[in-house]
Amino acid sequence: MSRKNIQLTEKLEEYIFRFSVREPSLFRKLREETARLAQANMQISPEEGQFLNILTKISGARRILEIGTFTGYSSLCFASALPPDGKILCCDISEEWTKIAKRYWNEAGLEQKIHLKIGSALETLQVILDSKTSPDWAPDFGFGPSSVDLVFLDADKENYPNYYPLILKLLRSGGLLIADNVLWDGSVVDDSHQEPSTIGIRKFNELAYGDPNVDVSMVPIADGVSLVRKK
Ligand SMILES: C[S@@+](CC[C@H](N)C(=O)[O-])C[C@H]1O[C@@H](n2cnc3c(N)ncnc32)[C@H](O)[C@@H]1O
């Protein structure tokens, strides 16, 4: 029995795009605008975005926490999949990049569903965890342990292991953590890579794999996405 994943040729990548991606024109416009930035490669792919969208619908998530928003592509994918009473709290340190995101949230008519908190996401998570009421920057979002249905982790890679325990406390039982870039362009298996980001991702992968309190699946889509379900 084979343990191998299919190797994706350019033609197969095109085939996947052709027969699975139904990207709304506004999302495509955001990709085109982001492509003009020097940091454009931080944006998730449309294939991954659609994966996030379908996971949101399957999971029935109503409260989503996004760690790392950039110009807003993944947040659009989540927000457009939420039910009418659903909310997503987006965390980022950049006013400049999230200003672009805000424009697209408004154009998509999704701004009512999205809260944005600028600042260190580690601090933001701790505040939500310790709050006794919804913070004023995220009204109706929820607070305290077990208040979140789904978390998307896509920010500072060196801190992935530090985010992990906070996320596990914030997630309700049955809640889902989706962690991006868990293969980090292949560097996780290359010992010559010892930079903090690679070390952080390796440690995160080990933490999730060794944690008996979660179910885990590492999916080789895009740069690797781990699905971690709190038991
Ligand atoms: C890979 S990008 C996110 C891409 C985004 N999910 C998308 O779909 O386009 C990572 C983002 O994390 C943000 N970031 C980096 N360090 C952070 C921190 N300590 N707290 C919050 N956000 C941070 C960066 O400003 C950047 O916008």
pLDDT tens for 40-59 read 999 999 999 999 999 999 99
Question: Is there a domain that residue 130 lies in?
Answer: yes
- Which amino acid residue places its CA nearest to atom 1 of ligand 1? 42
Domain count, the chain: 1
Angle between helices 121-130 and 160-170 (to 10 degrees): 20
Distance CA 176, CA 179 (A): 10
Q: Residue 131 C-alpha to ligand 1 middle, in angstroms?
A: 23
Nearest one of 60, 73, 58 to 21, comparing CA atoms: 73
Question: Is there a domain that residue 145 lies in?
Answer: yes
Domain limits for position 111: 10-230
Only one residue has tokens 């191998």, namely 4
Question: Is there a domain that residue 2 lies in?
Answer: no
Q: Residue 1 C-alpha to ligand 1 middle, in angstroms?
A: 39
Question: Is there a domain that residue 1 lies in?
Answer: no
Distance CA 219, CA 217 (A): 6
Q: Which of 103, 122, 154, 201 to mutate to test the pocket of ligand 1 (most atoms within 8 A of CB)?
A: 154
Both tokens assigned to 2: 């084979």
Question: Is there a domain that residue 4 lies in?
Answer: no
Q: Which of 156, 158, 184 to mutate to test the pocket of ligand 1 (most atoms within 8 A of CB)?
A: 156
Question: Is there a domain that residue 154 lies in?
Answer: yes
Question: Is there a domain that residue 193 lies in?
Answer: yes
Both tokens assigned to 102: 């805000």
Each residue of 174-188: pLDDT tens digit?
Answer: 999 999 999 999 999
Q: What is the CATH number of the domain that holds 126?
A: 3.40.50.150
Question: Is there a domain that residue 5 lies in?
Answer: no
pLDDT at 20 exceeding the cut of 70: yes
Both tokens assigned to 13: 């990548």
Q: Residue 155 C-alpha to ligand 1 middle, in angstroms?
A: 4
